[in-house]
Structure 1
Amino acid sequence: MKTQRDLPQPNQALLSQLEQIAKGIGETFAPFCEVVVHDLLDPQHAILSIHNNLSGRQVGSPATELGLARIADPVYPQIIANYDNRFADGRRAKSTSIGIKDEQGRYVAALCLNVDLNMFGTLQNMLTQFCQTGSSAIKETLDPANGETLHDYIDKFAASRGKTPQGLKARERRELLAELKQAGYLEVRKAIDTIARHLGVSRATLYNDAKSALTLP
Structure 2
Amino acid sequence: MAGEQDLEQERDAIIAALTPVVEGIAATFGPVCEAVLHDYRRPEKSVVAVAGSVTGRTAGAAMSEIGMRVLARGDEAADELDYRTRTPDGRLVKSSTVVLRDSTGAVFGALCLNLDIGAVSQAHALLGALAGLGGAPAADLPVTTFAHDIDSVIDAVVDTHQLHRHQNWAGLDRAARLDLFRSLDERGVFAVRRSVEQVAARLGISRASAYNYLSQARAAAPTDPAPDRKGARP
Report the TM-score, using the length of structure 1 for normalisation.
0.50
Take 1:67 and 1:121, find their aligned partners in 2: how far apart are those partners?
26
Which consecutive unaligned segments of at least 5 residues does structure 1 have?
1-7, 132-217
- Does residue 120 of structure 1 match 2:101? no
What is the aligned partner in structure 2 of residue 18 from structure 1?
A: 18
Structure 2 residue matching 1:74: 3-state secondary structure: helix
Partner of 1:92: 92
SS at match of 2:74: coil
Q: Secondary structure at the match of 1:9?
A: helix
Which structure 2 residues correspond to residues 7-86 of structure 1 after superposition, within 5 A? Answer: 9-86=9-86
The offset of 1:97, in angstroms, is: 0.6
Between the aligned partners of 1:48 and 1:58, the Cα distance in structure 2 is 8
- 1:124 Cα deviation (Å)? 4.3
Query: How far apart are residue 10 of structure 1 and its match?
Result: 3.5
Larger radius of gyration between Structure 1 and Structure 2? 1
1: CA distance, partners of 2:12 / 2:77:
23
Show the counterpart of 1:137: none
Find the counterpart in structure 2 of residue 213 from structure 1.
none
TM-score, normalising length from structure 2? 0.47
Report the number of matched residues: 125
Report whether the alignment pairs 1:107 with 2:107.
yes
- Counterpart Cα distance in 2 of 1:52 and 1:35: 7
TM superposition shift of 1:100: 0.4
Q: Indicate the structure whose relative CO is greater, using CA pairs within 8 Å and at least 6 residues apart.
A: 2
Compute the RMSD of aligned alpha carbons: 2.6
For the 8 Å contact 1:78–1:100, the answer to whether it is kept is no
Partners in 1 of 2:82 and 2:100 — Cα distance?
A: 18
CA distance in 2, matches of 1:34, 1:88: 17
Question: What is the distance in 1 between the residues matched to 2:128 and 2:71?
Answer: 44
Find the aligned partners of 2:129 and 2:105 in 1 and give their Cα distance: 51
Deviation at 1:95, TM superposition (A): 0.9
Identity among equivalent positions (%) equals 29
